[in-house]
């Protein structure tokens, strides 16, 4: 392991640990002002799907993109926790019988298998709304306009023109609503998985009140990283190991899905990942050595095994 990789791994582990502790606090039974009750079944379901698993890559991007601007770690962690809540909700809903109908997630039974569909739907809804509660909190930034920009960007990344929109395009491409609709893989990816990853990257620029060119650099980096993440996912579905993935491989092929691998072939997809890594590196050049951890993050995403 190189020194840069070891440094990166240590920081990823630390953010995962801090995110876990913060989420446990945010999902505790303690009532917030104006809340009437925190029902036990709902809280247990939300904790089951948000605690004790996951690489916490999105919080890491929020924390590290914030660190580039010297933003206090606590603020980046809160934004990261909000982003992770949205990510966990999307996984819960994606696993439901009406969507992907998956039995395993992060090496454990999916939430609806462990409980029931209604509990899983509501736990997802609870996490989605909690995310917006978190991202508006005063502790994130003293300037309310910064919090507003963070909140709006989160809505755009997770909503119609982002993740939710990407999910419906994906289902349409599988032929769920009649004939299979043609899929623009790159656009679908940008929306379904890319938008949240990109948000992690631009959130630091928003929190750090960056210049427009610094924002643009993190935006470019986030888009390249998002695409590399998805290609790696498509490659893992073909070449990956179910034990490491915590879910069965081969799901895309079973559904006859159009992916980067079906479009570019395995070698073409790997070449595209290399090109994207170069793009991510060059986007970060404006930050000099301050961009090193994000540079390592792009490589980790592209080479991940789970």
Taking CB under 6 A as the binding criterion, the range among 73-81, 90-98, 138-146, 263-271 that sits at the site for ligand GRG is 90-98
Alpha helix (H) ranges present in the chain?
3-26, 40-50, 57-67, 73-95, 111-114, 117-135, 144-158, 163-173, 185-189, 195-207, 212-239, 242-245, 251-254, 260-283, 292-303
Report the candidate in 272, 106, 95, 250 with the shortest Cα–Cα distance to residue 167. Answer: 95
**Closest approach of Cβ 109 to ligand GRG, in Å?**
14
- 287 vs 300 by CB, closer to ligand GRG: 300
Q: Structure tokens of 264?
A: 């570019």
Q: Does residue 63 belong to the site contacting ligand GRG (CB under 6 A)?
A: no
Q: Which of 7, 11, 47, 55 binds ligand GRG (CB under 6 A)?
A: 55
- 23 vs 149 by CB, closer to ligand GRG: 23
Instruction: Report which residue's Cβ sits closest to ligand GRG.
Output: 54
Report the candidate in 188, 165, 179 with the shortest Cα–Cα distance to residue 260. Answer: 188
Q: Does residue 90 belong to the site contacting ligand GRG (CB under 6 A)?
A: yes
- 135 vs 163 by CB, closer to ligand GRG: 163
Q: Tokens 């992060």 appear where?
A: 106
Burial of 146 (0-12, 13-18, 19+ CB in 10 A): middle
Give how many residues touch ligand GRG by CB under 6 A: 16
Q: Does residue 227 belong to the site contacting ligand GRG (CB under 6 A)?
A: no
**Binding letters toward ligand GRG, positions 164-193, x by CB under 6 A:** x--x------------------------xx
- 93 vs 141 by CB, closer to ligand GRG: 93
Q: How far apart are CA 283 and CA 193, in angstroms?
A: 20
Please check whether residue 285 is in contact with residue 278, taking contact to mean a CB–CB distance below 8 angstroms.
no
Helix axes of 57-67 and 212-239: crossing angle, nearest 10 degrees: 160
- 54 vs 173 by CB, closer to ligand GRG: 54
Helix (H) or strand (E) run with residue 108 in it? strand 108-109
Q: Does residue 237 belong to the site contacting ligand GRG (CB under 6 A)?
A: no
Taking CB under 6 A as the binding criterion, the range among 83-91, 137-145, 211-219, 266-274 that sits at the site for ligand GRG is 83-91
Q: Does residue 198 belong to the site contacting ligand GRG (CB under 6 A)?
A: no
Would you tell me which residues interact with ligand GRG (CB under 6 A)?
54-55, 57, 87, 90-91, 93-94, 99, 106, 163-164, 167, 192-193, 233
């Amino acid at each position: 392991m190189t020194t840069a990789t070891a440094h990166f791994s240590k920081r990823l582990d630390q953010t995962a640990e801090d995110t876990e502790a913060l989420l446990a606090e945010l999902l505790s039974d303690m009532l917030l002002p104006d809340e009437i009750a925190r029902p036990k079944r709902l809280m247990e379901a939300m904790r089951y799907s948000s605690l004790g698993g996951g690489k916490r890559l999105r919080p890491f991007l929020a924390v590290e993109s914030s660190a580039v601007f010297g933003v206090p770690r606590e603020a980046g962690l809160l934004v990261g926790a909000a982003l992770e809540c949205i990510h966990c909700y999307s996984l819960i809903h994606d696993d439901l019988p009406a969507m992907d109908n998956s039995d395993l997630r992060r090496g454990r039974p999916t939430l609806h298998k462990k409980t029931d569909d209604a509990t899983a739907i509501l736990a997802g809804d609870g996490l989605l709304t909690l995310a917006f509660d978190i991202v508006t909190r005063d502790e994130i930034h003293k300037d309310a306009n910064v919090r507003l920009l963070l909140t709006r960007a989160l809505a755009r990344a997770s909503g119609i023109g982002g993740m939710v929109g990407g999910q419906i395009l994906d289902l349409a491409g599988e032929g769920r609503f009649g004939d299979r609709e043609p899929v623009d893989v790159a656009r679908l990816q940008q929306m379904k998985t890319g938008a949240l990853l990109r948000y992690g990257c631009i959130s630091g620029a928003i929190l750090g009140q960056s210049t427009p060119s610094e924002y643009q650099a993190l935006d470019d980096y986030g888009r390249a990283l998002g695409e590399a993440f998805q290609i790696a996912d498509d490659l893992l579905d073909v070449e990956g190991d179910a034990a490491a993935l915590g879910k069965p491989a081969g799901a895309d092929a079973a559904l006859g899905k159009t992916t980067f691998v079906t479009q570019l072939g395995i070698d073409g997809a790997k070449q595209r990942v290399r090109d994207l890594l170069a793009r991510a590196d060059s986007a970060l050049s404006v930050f000099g050595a301050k961009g090193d951890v994000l540079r390592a993050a792009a490589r980790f995403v592209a080479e991940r095994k789970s």
